[in-house]
């Protein structure tokens, strides 16, 4: 072939390549944001929607409909890797009309290579869309953020309408988050005996005493309690202490647990007086997994599983039914409806609880305690019969059935209370605690009224052994991660809740939401919390001395979930007998350091990273109020890290934690 023909052929192919490249993502193409892979998007509620609002409706801002765009929800981050020749980003942003008449408010932000390039004013439902038109040549990392504008994330339905890139768009990639593995950090309990759970237990004079010593180690174990006061005995085979004390006082004892490998011993103080709940309660509650499907057999299976999983050996002791065990007169389900009370006015159970006393006896026979639930109003939150007007009679029934714990949930009492004054907020709780005081049985009282009237300031004075500090942590399944940081970290810190929790009364930021939970759509599904977030919840709850009440499916607990729930060194922080709740000592953007002072003079420290990327978090001795060489132990790994001066720093994953115990070196 002559050379000229060869050269012409080459030129033709180059032209074809150039033409075809400009058709498939050359210099001046446009591409819609909604046609990219946005699966790595993070948001505070729901999932990212392409060409729809976050609720799956047509995109619409201030009455104007949009054919395409992206619907999301604060706080959200859409992150993209761009080609340097992608030179323009355009969109119209605003709050979707689905949020009209609601209090949403959002700030839209575009960040280029980590710096803010553009920011919208505060956008509210009904505000006309704001156009965005940005030059972005050379930018590699683009983030589209829709952030809560300060009033919480409710109804923050954020639309990036008509969002389009222009330029070389062939290489735009949706960012992919690092996959977080569910790493089991804690070694399994060893074969040697180890005594766990609370070191101080409160009982009232004359009340029946029931406490099973929690201990791990190869079975069979032998239990002994030295200096057990008269009136109490311990079963050497089961470790159950039972009996009655007549006289108030502090009774220091030593618990010994042995097997053929050795003996563990630990002080255990029985405090006979008027104060129950000397350390935060530990146990299980039915609500977040079983909601209105709870039944006798579910409760018995949960009690069985507390034993077979070994959770009982780590201190979990209460097995609590939540709402939906009484009758729901308005229900058309024959299992639930019927008369709510008998002719004498005694409260009746629904048909899913044919033998409440038998069920409670069964729970007790496992060495566990049983809890129940009602409301001071005429109906519970789910519309079941509750205590209003029958408080004394209902409590007597609970005593007859043998319950040890009562959650008293405000619910329909909102229609009874005259106003929101502190006196009205306190009234039903004063009434019920007065009745409980007169019973021949110890019943822990959990106040559930979502933090109204700064309940932490008076919860213990009205007889509460714990009080919910905020709304339902898992009220929105998709929003659990957001609620964890909002109610756990921010409500607690901004109201200085650490000042109010103490032996006998604890701040309760709600249940541990691990394992399988209800998604409120009729299914039980794995928790939306990532592994790091689960470590974060358990660490924070222990640092702030919160009740450790797990509310996932007891019968489907995997190894990872069990490892998060049963690390004895973390639980020891929660149950520390000094009973001084921890608090945030340092916040640097997304990085936070929390501290809790422990009885033995050491401090537990949580290094938290609320950010989206791994980051190094540093605890400075100066902030912790300590000096000199300190011994640092990693509590999740149960591993000594050695001696440190001045500070301890470690890299912490997205939404994760490193929890250490710091002890002065001699």
Residues forming the active site: 409, 472
Compare residues 152 and 191 and give the one whose CB is closer to ligand GLA: 152
Compare residues 210 and 462 and give the one whose CB is closer to ligand GLA: 462
92 near ligand GLA (CB under 6 A): no
Residue of the chain from 143, 156, 313, 322 that contacts ligand GLA (CB under 6 A): 322
Number of residues that bind ligand GLA (CB under 6 A): 9
Compare residues 452 and 626 and give the one whose CB is closer to ligand GLA: 452
Residue 276: cis peptide before it, omega within 30 degrees of 0: no
In the complex, least distance from residue 323 CB atom to ligand GLA, rounded to whole angstroms: 3
Task: Tell me how far apart the alpha carbons of residues 526 and 534 are, in angstroms, rounded to a whole number.
Answer: 12
Among 3-11, 89-97, 374-382, 514-522, the segment contacting ligand GLA (CB under 6 A) = 374-382
The 639-644 sheet, strands edge to edge: 583-588, 591-597, 603-609, 657-664, 630-634, 639-644
State which of positions 330-359 bind ligand GLA (CB under 6 A): none
Closest CA to 330 of 377, 385, 389, 292: 385
286 near ligand GLA (CB under 6 A): no
Token match 């202490």: residue?
A: 241
592 near ligand GLA (CB under 6 A): no
In the complex, least distance from residue 324 CB atom to ligand GLA, rounded to whole angstroms: 7
381 near ligand GLA (CB under 6 A): yes
In the complex, least distance from residue 413 CB atom to ligand GLA, rounded to whole angstroms: 12
In contact, 445 and 395? CB cutoff 8 Å: no
> Which are the contacts of 138, defined by CB distance < 8 A and separation ≥ 6?
84
Q: What is the DSSP letter of 231?
A: T
Residue 365: cis peptide before it, omega within 30 degrees of 0: no
Closest CA to 414 of 357, 364, 375, 461: 375
C-alpha triplet 377, 381, 385: angle, nearest 5°? 55
In contact, 123 and 155? CB cutoff 8 Å: no
652 near ligand GLA (CB under 6 A): no
409 near ligand GLA (CB under 6 A): yes
In the complex, least distance from residue 411 CB atom to ligand GLA, rounded to whole angstroms: 6
State which of positions 31-90 bind ligand GLA (CB under 6 A): none
Compare residues 287 and 485 and give the one whose CB is closer to ligand GLA: 287
382 near ligand GLA (CB under 6 A): yes
> Which are the contacts of 79, defined by CB distance < 8 A and separation ≥ 6?
40, 41, 141, 142, 143, 144, 174, 175
Task: Tell me how far apart the alpha carbons of residues 656 and 612 are, in angstroms, rounded to a whole number.
Answer: 10
Compare residues 287 and 401 and give the one whose CB is closer to ligand GLA: 287
State which of positions 433-472 bind ligand GLA (CB under 6 A): 448, 472
Among 130-138, 210-218, 268-276, 380-388, the segment contacting ligand GLA (CB under 6 A) = 380-388
Task: Tell me how far apart the alpha carbons of residues 253 and 150 are, in angstroms, rounded to a whole number.
Answer: 52
- Angle between helix 422-437 and 391-401 (nearest 10): 40
Compare residues 359 and 549 and give the one whose CB is closer to ligand GLA: 549
Site string for ligand GLA, 287-316 (x = CB under 6 A): x-----------------------------
In the complex, least distance from residue 322 CB atom to ligand GLA, rounded to whole angstroms: 5
Residue of the chain from 380, 460, 527, 575 that contacts ligand GLA (CB under 6 A): 380
Q: Which two tokens stand for residue 504?
A: 């006998």
Q: What is the DSSP letter of 261?
A: T
Q: Which residues bind ligand GLA (CB under 6 A)?
A: 287, 322-323, 380-382, 409, 448, 472
């Amino acid at each position: 072939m002559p050379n000229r023909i060869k050269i012409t052929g080459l030129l033709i192919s180059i032209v074809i390549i150039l033409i075809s490249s400009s058709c498939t993502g050359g210099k001046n193409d446009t591409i819609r944001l909604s046609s990219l892979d946005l699966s790595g998007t993070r948001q505070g509620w729901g999932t990212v929607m392409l060409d729809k609002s976050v609720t799956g409706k047509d995109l619409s801002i201030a009455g104007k409909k949009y054919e395409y765009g992206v619907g999301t929800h604060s706080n959200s981050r859409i992150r993209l890797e761009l080609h340097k020749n992608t030179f323009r980003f355009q969109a119209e942003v605003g709050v979707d009309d689905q949020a009209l008449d609601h209090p949403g408010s959002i700030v839209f932000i575009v960040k280029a290579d980590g710096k803010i390039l553009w920011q919208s004013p505060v956008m509210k439902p009904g505000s006309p869309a704001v156009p965005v038109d940005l030059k972005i040549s050379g930018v590699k990392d683009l983030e589209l953020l829709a952030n809560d504008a300060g009033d919480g994330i409710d109804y923050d339905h954020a639309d990036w309408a008509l969002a389009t890139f222009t330029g070389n768009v062939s290489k735009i990639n949706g960012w992919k988050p690092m996959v977080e593995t569910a790493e089991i950090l804690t070694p399994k309990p060893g074969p040697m005996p180890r005594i766990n759970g609370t070191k101080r237990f409160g009982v009232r004079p004359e009340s029946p005493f029931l406490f099973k010593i929690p201990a791990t180690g190869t079975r069979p174990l032998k239990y002994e309690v030295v200096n057990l006061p008269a009136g109490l005995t311990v079963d050497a085979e089961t470790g159950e202490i039972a009996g009655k004390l007549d006289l108030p006082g502090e009774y220091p004892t030593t618990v010994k647990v042995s097997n053929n490998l050795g003996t563990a011993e630990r002080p255990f103080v029985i405090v006979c007086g008027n104060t129950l709940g000397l350390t935060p309660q530990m146990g299980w509650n039915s609500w977040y997994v079983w909601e209105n499907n709870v039944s006798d057999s579910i409760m018995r299976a949960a009690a069985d599983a507390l034993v077979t999983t070994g959770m009982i050996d780590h201190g979990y002791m209460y097995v609590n039914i939540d709402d939906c065990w009484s009758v729901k007169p308005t229900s058309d389900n024959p299992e639930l409806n019927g008369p709510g009370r008998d002719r004498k006015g005694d409260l009746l159970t629904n048909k899913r609880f044919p033998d409440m006393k038998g069920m409670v006896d069964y729970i007790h026979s496992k060495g566990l305690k049983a809890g129940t639930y009602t409301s001071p109003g005429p109906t519970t939150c789910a519309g079941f019969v509750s205590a209003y007007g029958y408080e004394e009679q209902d409590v007597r029934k609970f005593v007859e059935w043998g319950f040890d714990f009562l959650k008293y949930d405000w619910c329909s009492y909102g229609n009874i209370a005259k106003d929101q004054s502190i006196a009205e907020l306190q009234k039903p709780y004063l009434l019920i605690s007065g009745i409980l005081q007169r019973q021949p049985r110890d019943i822990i009282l959990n106040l559930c009224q979502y933090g109204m009237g700064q309940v932490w300031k008076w919860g213990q004075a009205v007889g509460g052994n714990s009080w919910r500090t905020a709304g339902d942590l898992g009220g929105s399944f998709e929003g659990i991660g957001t609620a964890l940081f909002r109610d756990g970290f921010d409500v607690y810190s901004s109201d200085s809740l650490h000042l109010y929790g103490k032996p006998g009364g604890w701040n309760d930021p709600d249940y541990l939401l691990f394992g399988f939970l209800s998604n409120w759509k009729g299914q039980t599904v794995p928790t939306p919390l990532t592994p790091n977030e689960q470590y974060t919840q358990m660490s924070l709850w222990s640092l702030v001395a919160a009740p450790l009440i797990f509310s996932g499916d007891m019968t489907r607990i995997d190894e990872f979930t069990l490892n998060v729930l049963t690390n004895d060194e973390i639980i020891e922080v929660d149950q520390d007998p000094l009973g001084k709740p921890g608090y945030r000592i340092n916040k640097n953007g997304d990085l936070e350091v929390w501290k809790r002072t422990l009885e033995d003079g050491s401090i537990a420290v949580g290094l938290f990273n609320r950010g989206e990327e791994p980051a190094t978090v540093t605890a400075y001795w100066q902030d912790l109020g300590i000096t000199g060489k300190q011994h640092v132990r990693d509590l999740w790994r149960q591993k000594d890290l050695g001696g440190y001066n001045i500070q301890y720093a470690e890299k912490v994953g997205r939404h994760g934690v490193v929890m250490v115990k710091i002890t002065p070196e001699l």
